[in-house]
Amino acid sequence: MAYDQENIFAKILRGEIPAHKIYEDEHTYAFLDVFPQTKGHALVIPKTPSENILTAEPETLGVLMITVQKICRAAMEAFQADGITLQQFNQPAGGQTVFHTHVHILPRFNDVPLGSHNGNMEVNEILIEMAEAYKAVLSK
C-alpha cells in the first residue's frame, strides 16, 4: 500500500484541517484527539510520511518515541493522571483506520474506565482547555 497524501493526518500537517496542537518540533507534531477516550487524549505523529510502524524508518520511530515520552510526562502533570495507556495500531486487521504512523496517549485515572472512541466529538471549549493545560506544562 502506498502512502496516501490525502489522509487526515497529512492534511493536518499541511494545515488544511485544523487541530488542537499541543507540541511541535522539527520531526513530530502532537495534538488532541477530537474524539477523546479520556481527558487529555492526545496523538503524536511524525512529520515524515509513513503508514505505520511496519513501514516507518527506524529514525522516524526514534524521534516519534522521544516526543511520545515528552507528551506522556506532560499528560501526567497537566491532568494529575495516575497512569498512561499508549495505543498504536497497524493495518486494518490491527485496528488502524488512519494510515499515517501515530501513537495515542491516553491519561488514565484510578477507578475511571477508558471511554470508547465512538465518534462523539468533544466540545471545542473543552479541547481548548485541555490543549492549554498541556502547553502550560510543556512551556516550563
Nearest to 106 by CA among 52, 36, 57: 36
CA 58 – CA 95 distance, rounded (Å)? 22
Helices 58-78 and 124-138 pack at an angle, to 10 degrees, of 100
Annotated catalytic residues are: 102
Contact 71, 25 (CB under 8 A): no
Q: Where are the beta strands (DSSP E) in the chain?
A: 21-24, 28-32, 42-46, 83-87, 103-108
